[in-house]
Amino acid sequence: MIRILSVYQLSMKKQQSGEICWSKRIGFRNYILLAEDLEAYKILRAANEPVFISKEQSLNTSSKPEAKYDSYAFQITMMYRLEFLMRVLRAGFHFLSADMDTLWLSNPFNYISHDLSITIQGQTHKQTKMSGGFIIIHAISKGRKLWQDVIKCQNQNLVDLREQQHLKRKRPASDFTEQECINDRLNTTTINLLDPYLFPDGRSFFDLHRPQSRGIVPVAIHGNWLVGLEAKIKRLRSWNLLASTGSSCDPLENGIPYSLSKTSNPVRIRIGILAYNRLQSLQRLLESLQAANYLNDSVALDISVDRPSSAAGSSEKEQWKQVMEYVGDGETHPSKLKWSHGPLSIIVHKKHVGLLGQWTVSTDHQDIQLLLEDDVVVSPHFYIFLKQAIDFYYINESNYDSRMFGLSMQHQHTMLGQRTGFSIRSIDKELNETGAPTFFKYQLLGTWGAVFFPEHWRAFLEWIATINIENIEEGCTPGGLLSAQWWVSRHLAERMWTHWFIRFVYERGWYSLYTNFPNREALIVSYRESGLNFNVTRRSMNAISRTSAT
């Protein structure tokens, strides 16, 4: 099967070069470009791209301007494409034809049926009608007969448009298009529909966020439901999906290369606790950490204690003093807590820094960090799982994923596509209906037990140091996610850090590894106690795992 990347005009150069770049990014070379004008053909040939132009087309024009979809000029172009695809079928090749505004994220041939049936990408509002030019036809008598009928219909469209029959019949010009011809013929035959979550149209992906609501990365996105080249480029840029606007492809962010082979330093795990004024919560967490199995390893524990702000009330300050009396200040007041598994350090900030300051404080060590806020508890077996996961995903070069920034040891509840006023199913149902994977990679940050690989965490710290964290606009990711709504509502009351990290990994395509244990158990659970993130205590959403997670 050959993939035909629609019609290439010189005026569409920026859009088409982006499509070519995405094809190269996924390593997919089985395509042919159809040039509409001679100048575009010469540019593609000079770039060593597989391109075809008919002899008649090369003689008729050197360069053509962009035309409106429902215009006579545009439908002439569509007839050119239809006739070329007929030549492909007669030569004995199957084809997948797609419009130039299609975004390719995976090899489509791995996801389509090979049973010789006609296959189309449906539309959001008309699921059994073809979305744009995305169609698969096989070189069999049935396929050739259907395509010949479409060409006959399109010939009549051109006659009607030239004679302005749509005005006489009081019908829109959009009724006289090759797409309507194809859809009319599809009504009389059996067709396959591509998975709408793997092959969404522009409205489904960019407006309704349907694949995102199920945590699905599409194979191909048809960038329709938006008129005009510049508008489509602007949308891709805002979603960080623009691969090129010039003659060369923009580099794809590949994450952090494997580097352990260049160092002889051992890989160590360091636990960091972020505390403030919740003494009982802190004691509960330390108790669970002390009771865990560390396989006789030496594990460093750092406890960061924030100071009250100038606006803190007397009760809040008194609670903070209780915490200080317990942990000590590392100088004049000795610590009352016990840690028998390695080095212990107490860091008391000299001024109020908030959660943003505690999470993003710079460090001079190269350890893998597990950062815990004080209202969580850990499973007795959390370290066993953590060490084995690090050995497998971080130390073992053959399994190393440059875009995986670490591990999330909580049970994740929130879908990336969740938006205010938009009801979707829980992530538990989505995962368990697709085979209940024990582990899965996911972009959304999990702060109830976040483990960061040192190189990825350092890259984030370097990035956020360049950001104006007071600018609320810079902290928002596209799509109106629930996390963005949460960020906006809390930004003025207290500087937050989580959405900066969400944006950071979103722009790079990074993710962490999550667990999906039976009965929603987790190795680390949060009691969601009253504080900055929750106005009132909500208690734990999950049971702690009491058995070995290995």
The answer on 72 and 41 residing in a single domain is: yes
The answer on 132 and 53 residing in a single domain is: yes
**Containing domain of residue 323, as a range?**
260-526
- Spatial neighbors of 484 by CB under 8 A, at least 6 apart, are 476, 477, 499
The answer on 219 and 299 residing in a single domain is: no
Return d(Cα 342, Cα 272) in angstroms, integer: 13
Closest CA relative to residue 186, chosen from 246, 250, 134: 134
**pLDDT value of residue 442:** 81
**pLDDT value of residue 11:** 44
In this structure, is the dihedral angle defined by the CA atoms of residues 203, 209, 212 and 213, taken in order, positive or negative? Answer: negative
Residue at 246 is within a domain: no
Q: Model confidence over 2-38: pLDDT tens digits?
A: 666 555 544 445 445 567 788 877 777 788 888 888 8
If one compares 182 and 1, the residue with the highest pLDDT of the two is 182
Q: Model confidence over 250-268: pLDDT tens digits?
A: 666 668 999 887 777 789 9
Token pair in block for residue 445: 């940050």
Residue at 204 is within a domain: yes
Cβ–Cβ < 8 Å for 512, 407: yes
Return d(Cα 480, Cα 169) in angstroms, integer: 43
- Spatial neighbors of 376 by CB under 8 A, at least 6 apart, are 285, 448, 449, 524, 525, 526, 527
Q: What is the bridge-based pairing of β-strands 450-452 and 368-373? A: antiparallel
Give the domain CATH number at 164.
Answer: 3.90.550.10
Structure confidence at residue 388 as a pLDDT band (50, 70, 90): very high
Q: Average pLDDT in the 481-508 region?
A: 69
Cβ–Cβ < 8 Å for 219, 111: yes
Domain finish residue from 203, 238, 273: 238
Q: What is the bridge-based pairing of β-strands 130-137 and 118-122? A: antiparallel
* Predicted confidence (pLDDT) at residue 63 exceeds the cutoff of 60: yes
Per-chain mean pLDDT for the chain = 81
Q: Model confidence over 186-234: pLDDT tens digits?
A: 888 888 888 888 999 888 888 887 886 666 788 889 888 777 778 888 8
The answer on 489 and 454 residing in a single domain is: yes
The answer on 17 and 55 residing in a single domain is: yes
Residue at 545 is within a domain: no
* Predicted confidence (pLDDT) at residue 538 exceeds the cutoff of 80: no
Phi, psi of 34 (to 5 degrees): -105, 110
Closest CA relative to residue 129, chosen from 219, 205, 224: 224
Residue at 145 is within a domain: yes
The answer on 333 and 216 residing in a single domain is: no
The answer on 266 and 232 residing in a single domain is: no
The answer on 417 and 516 residing in a single domain is: yes
* Predicted confidence (pLDDT) at residue 395 exceeds the cutoff of 60: yes
Q: Is 48 helix (H, G, I), strand (E, B) or coil?
A: coil
Residue at 539 is within a domain: no
- 430 burial level (CB within 10 Å; 0-12, 13-18, 19+): middle
The stretches of 271-342 forming alpha helices (DSSP H) are 279-291, 314-327
Q: Which of 151-155, 158-162, 245-249, 425-429 reaches the highest mean pLDDT?
A: 151-155
Closest CA relative to residue 110, chosen from 30, 33, 186, 189: 30
Residue at 415 is within a domain: yes
**pLDDT value of residue 539:** 63
The answer on 301 and 182 residing in a single domain is: no
Return d(Cα 401, Cα 441) in angstroms, integer: 11
Q: Compute the chain's Rg from CA coordinates.
A: 29
Return d(Cα 131, Cα 440) in angstroms, integer: 31
Lowest mean pLDDT, pick from 1-15, 65-79, 179-193, 478-492: 1-15
* Predicted confidence (pLDDT) at residue 176 exceeds the cutoff of 70: yes
The answer on 142 and 285 residing in a single domain is: no
Residue at 385 is within a domain: yes
**pLDDT value of residue 313:** 92
- Spatial neighbors of 429 by CB under 8 A, at least 6 apart, are none
Give the total number of structural domains in the chain.
Answer: 2
Distances (CA, A) of 127 to 174, 191, 196, 533: 18, 12, 9, 41
Cβ–Cβ < 8 Å for 63, 38: yes
* Predicted confidence (pLDDT) at residue 460 exceeds the cutoff of 60: yes
The answer on 400 and 282 residing in a single domain is: yes
The answer on 374 and 289 residing in a single domain is: yes
Residue at 273 is within a domain: yes
